[in-house]
Structure 1
Amino acid sequence: MKTRQRGHYSLRRRLMTAMGIGFALLLVIISLFLIGFTRNAANKSYDLLLAGAALSILEKVSYADEEIAVDLPHSALDILSLAPQDRVFYSLTTEDGELLTGNPELTSLAPQSNNASPQFTDDVFMDARVRMVHQSRNIITPDERKWVTITIAQTTIARDSHAFSLFIAALTGVAIISLIGMGFVWLAIGKALQPLAKIEDNLSRREPTDLTELQLQPPREVAGLINAINGFMARLDLARQQSEAFMADVAHQTRTSLSALQGHLSLAADAEDQTQMRRRLNRAADQAGRATRLTNQLLSHAMVIHRAENQAMTAFDLKKLVRDLISDMLRDTSLRKINLILDDEDIASEEAMTFGDQISINEALKNLIENAIRHGPETNEITLRLVQMGGGHISVEVEDEGPGIPEHQREEALERFKSLDIKANGTGLGLAIVKEVADAHNAQLNLKEGKKGGLLAQLVFEVQRLAALFILAGIGLIGGPWHQDAFADPTVLEIWGATDKSAFQPVVDAYMAANPGIDVSYTEILTTELYQRILNNDPDTPDIVMSSAMDLQIDLVNKGYAQALPEQSLPNVKPWAAWRSELFGYTFEPAAVIYHKPTFEGIDLPETHADMANFIRDNEDQLRAQIGYYDIRTSGAGYLLATQEARLSQQFFRIAESLGRAGVRVFCCTGSMIDATASGELKMSLNVIGSYALNATKDKPDLGVHFFDDFNPVMSRTVFVSKTADNRDWARDFVSFLLSDAGQSVISEKSGLLPISETHLRSNEASAENVLSIDSGRFVPIRLSIGLLTYLDRMKREKFLESWQEAVQEIN
């Protein structure tokens, strides 16, 4: 009957594994090559954007009005916005190190030399890895030629993503080819292993006792395996012979001992008097003791071999084991004349940690002590000693006052059934057991002469240096660095926004109703003041920042004041109203013309921007000082709408000139223009935030709202979670609520603002009357992108405001 063998492995699988590892190493090598290749490929692609932007800016650098100036082209930053997730920084400097415009902190990374060709470098700026381009241009001034250098730094998110996608695509192709190759290897291995079937057949037909060599002519590649099998069978045959010899020795020793015991008992039974019987019974008792010791030693030897084969190893304290052994032996009353001494005072417990089988080591030490007792004098002194050895080892020594073992007989004493002291009636297994234990633990057994002339048996073990790992979690100290700021209230969500508090409060109330126990504090701040306070790291920085000045919000996010949110948890996110997963638009805010209805009753208002410029010019006297406009020098939303209208239409400055001739009046806020227009103080106001105007018509019947047919810029109030928010989780939850259907519904029905969700925008009463929709074509959204930074450039802003003021005739 065949016994089912377990633990089989597949030679084919192992060969395939080896080949697989080879292919994997090859893939690793190819991957290392691909990393560099794809990185260079991505850099070449995105470096073209940087170079194009740098060249576009340098082309706009000129000398005018006794100074070097640059009219930062919107196309330059638009080019860089093709990498939508990346932040962008720039600086324009002269060869003297003078900053003309841009980020002053970037000047320290500008090169010392001037080069008309673009030079690319990698560095870290504002805690982000950036790729930079440096390019110079020679500007002719009346006195000299002067080099001007543009430095543009762009974060590497897009190029890293591009490089990774190229890497994955290339690696996938290589991996597919490798899998095909592995398939051919599988077939080849199967063909090559067919000769092994003959070897299998030969072995399967053998008798269990047939351990003769295999007489086959195997393939050259398998010859080593056949030799190994033959060698193993030879060793197995030798082990079998040794086992048979051991069993024969055991049987002989047992039979001899039992026969002697039976003989003594028989003689005792035939004794003629009590004295003779007692003498023979004492001999029988001694023989029974020897038989018992032999049986115990045989069982102990078998136990040690079994535990060594099963690797019953654990880490333990050797010092404790020795002390426990001494304590057990001192309880034996038969050892009263034996003086057991323990010498371990110089060894600490942590220095005596070792790895092994405690039961086997205990048995070995017990055998050493019993040997010392058996072969020593009646008043024997036995010392058990722990000694710290060099090289991370510790030894256990057993020293007695007995006769010892001559040096030439010490090897023989370790053999089974070799008892050198016939008078002691030993079994010859004690030291053999110790030797088995030492071998199983990779320990060293040394037999030496003791200081008192007796035997010194030494077992040397390797010390295990165990390190304790203490994890301190959840421990805080008052005022410690892990505690939240004492002034921060974790249940109050701080929001700073430029939206009128009366308009936004319904959204706040709805959120608090949905989240009992959380208070929301909303502070209304003008857009430019809000921008400056965040930029200047106001100590009372809020959790959430909201503003209608999209360009200022982009600048704050670009400079790292926001934290990313998972877009998949934010519904109603529009592609044009989201940037870097950090800034999100939540309202639909078209620019509108508001007018005093009684004044224009029966008069058709202009349908296009060009018509508006003509209309104001034709009615200049009637409209003098009765047209309202944002003071774009102080109003963030007004400046944004003005710059975007200037981008969309060449009519902007024509309208500005017409406004100037008509004596336009400027205001800080939409509300002021709405009130003045509704009362008739103003006849009309341009570029007003449409949502406020539409909401105001409910209470102001003399107020009219007009949209152009050619285009109407649409901005969006934007929100981001501050990088230093004290209540990040609640802040993220509030942004999610703001963009959710519930939040958009509140915005549409209760706030007077227009929601960005197309579904809720269509259902809005004011929106439905005016057909407010991105799909209508009349409303052009201002896209959140790095391009909005164009008009925040110092020189660009100064020039734009100067041109605007000149057009409206230097207003005060």
Structure 2
Amino acid sequence: MLRKGSIAASLFWLSAAWLVLALVTTGILLTDLYSRTLDQTLTETLDFHVESLTGALLEMRDPQSPEVALADPRFERPRSGWYWIIRGDDGRLVNLSTSVVGIDLPGVGTAADALGRSSEIINDPFGTQLRMVERSVTLDGTTYRITVAGNLTEILELVSSFRGQTFIVLGAVGVMLAAMSAFVARIALRPIARLSRAVEAVREGDSAEVSGTYPTEIAPLAEEVNELLRSNTQIIERARNQVGNLAHGLKTPIAVLRNEAAAKKGALADVVTSETEKMSNMVSTYLERARLAARTSVVGKKSDATMVMLRLTRVMRKIHPDVTIAFQRPDASLPWFRGDEADLEEIAGNLLDNACKWSKGQVGVRLSSERGDKGAQLLVRIDDNGPGLSEADAQKVLRRGVRLDEKTPGTGLGLDIVKELVDVYGGSLELKRSQLGGLLVELRLPTARLGGLVRPEGA
């Protein structure tokens, strides 16, 4: 059933309207073509009869001869609508067909054409519409006018009958085409209905992604929906991890306060114990709520990696004045990062800060682009001359909260946060041995075209 406002209903009614217009126009054109054809055939038949009478007249040399006649029996039947008359130049009647007896049939009043033939449509005394053709012939110095009339009413009746039959046939064809249009619309739009059900299944929690095979026209839509779902899942997971990071950071200070208060006696200790308990409960409550909240999508954002790295190197030079940070600034053709600028600052800032902490005074930063399996990617290389990491330690350090040196200030969550953000954007993070002797971090992130954005000169 076609529901009001649906695409199938719109297609059906548009198709039906176009079919009605096309079929009515076709019927009119076919009827007109048939009418012209019959009229032309009648005219050609009358021309033939005129030529026949002319030939007989010239052969007999006597316009009143019984041999001057036509063999068509319709010219012998009264009121048949088929007549022929031969008149003198002065209008006197010279010869005629049997069907004309008792009828006053006028001559053709129109001017002759280039072939000496004139034609006109009149009505006989019985109301029959006639097509008349007339031609002048000169015999022995005398001019005779030969007039032949054919029954045009018969032609009009045939056209009327043809018109009725044509519209009946075209109407039946229109109904079949309309039914086919509705059927095709429903069949063609089934993939959209399947896609709608697949999206609904995701919304209801019955499926993790839009599944199924779709036509090439809507397959990209299904894939984009899945990409959006994957991005949303990663963002939610990232939010949960960040909430866990916050819980991890607050848990120890609150526990210390509670333990210290429990070891003391007095009003102040009681107040601290009570308030820390409230703090613990509130943190647990709101952190649990935060775990269920989703972050804003990063779709459609882009940022200038060169400008971000310039700012970060300036900040790190102030924080770590004893470290030399060499930043090889790329040219203006470097593609932008396809994502949020704050996320890029968090990723690169953590990596650069770690490099400065572990280096022996030398850190290098390079930006470039490369094309891989995922298309064009932004490549960030940060290396140092510190102790570096073994292959096993490089894999271990990316785990959540893992720290290889507890003496260095920090929570151990920096690289973990970086990894989460990189995964959200579909990038990659690799830890290798640097040519400087320490650790080389290779960060790959998706790129966005500049799209008319201009990088400030001299920034």
Q: Report the TM-score range of the alignment, normalised by the length of the smaller protein.
A: 0.3 to 0.5
- TM-score, normalised by the number of residues in structure 1: 0.27
- TM-score, normalised by the number of residues in structure 2: 0.44
RCO comparison, higher one (Cα < 8 Å, 6+): 1
